[in-house]
Amino acid sequence: GVQEQGCRALRSLTCNVDNQTEIAVEGGIEAVVAALRAHSSHAGVQEQRRPALFCLACNVDNQSKLTVEGGIAAVLKAMGAHASHAGVQEQACAAFSKLAYSNDDNTVKRAVVGGIAAVVAAMRTHPLHAGVQEQGCRALRSLTCNVDNQTEIAVEGGIEAVVAALRAHSSHAGVQEQRRPALFCLACNVDNQSKLTVEGGIAAVLKAMGAHASHAGVQEQ
């Protein structure tokens, strides 16, 4: 109870940019990671921890500290322990997307410790959950900032997962808007271009464009 509400409070406080730094200075990152470890078997507690990590990771300096303090490892452990809990998976993918964004060191490390496989597994396990699919694709997009990860994502089945998400959520504009950047980044790899065609990526994009003709964000992506 104390840990859950404490992380919820930190998440709310991180809406202020200055607070993101202050929380790190006061030991907030260590506290959140410690809570993840101590309550790894409690799905509700884990679900509340992820938004706190996501918000703290909006600060670039905090991204490195979260890695050093074991934040990535703690998130991965929770994803494995609560594979069937969509809420935990959604928030974990959201945390990954922020930790990987504009931080190549974290991106590489995450691929090594199994982050790509964990994100793809979450998308496969919860194909009809728009939140999991949206955050999963956002995480994969961030991970593709590293060239080696583009290949690894394809190997782990990430292309199939993204295309499946496009098809399953064709009527959801927000979901569709997040899928496009993931496909765009994956297509930067020449080998992935052919696989995207074979898996129906082009057809899925065209279908979504037709379904959301008035949505500028979908059309842009």
Counts of helices then strands in the chain (DSSP H, E): 16, 0
Per-residue confidence band for 221, with pLDDT thresholds at 50, 70 and 90:
low
Query: In this structure, is the dihedral angle defined by the CA atoms of residues 96, 180, 132 and 115, taken in order, positive or negative?
Result: negative
CB 34 within 8 A of CB 75: no
Q: What confidence score (pLDDT) does residue 219 get?
A: 44
**Degrees (nearest 5) of the Cα angle 116, 21, 70?**
35
Residue 83, pLDDT score: 94
- C-alpha torsion sign, points 143, 149, 150, 155: negative
- Segment 111-121 mean pLDDT: 85
45 pLDDT more than 60? no
Question: If pLDDT is split at 50, 70 and 90, which confidence band does 191 have?
Answer: confident
Whether the Cβ atoms of residue 109 and residue 67 lie closer than 8 Å to each other: yes
Per-residue pLDDT of 57-90, as tens digits, reads: 777 778 878 877 788 888 888 889 899 999 989 9
Mean pLDDT estimate for the chain: 77
Cα–Cα dist 88/137, whole Å:
16
Least confident of 6-20, 92-106, 153-167: 6-20
H-run or E-run covering 116: helix 115-125
| pLDDT band of 205, cuts 50, 70, 90 | low
What are 54-64's pLDDT values in tens digits?
A: 777 777 778 87
Both tokens assigned to 83: 């594979």
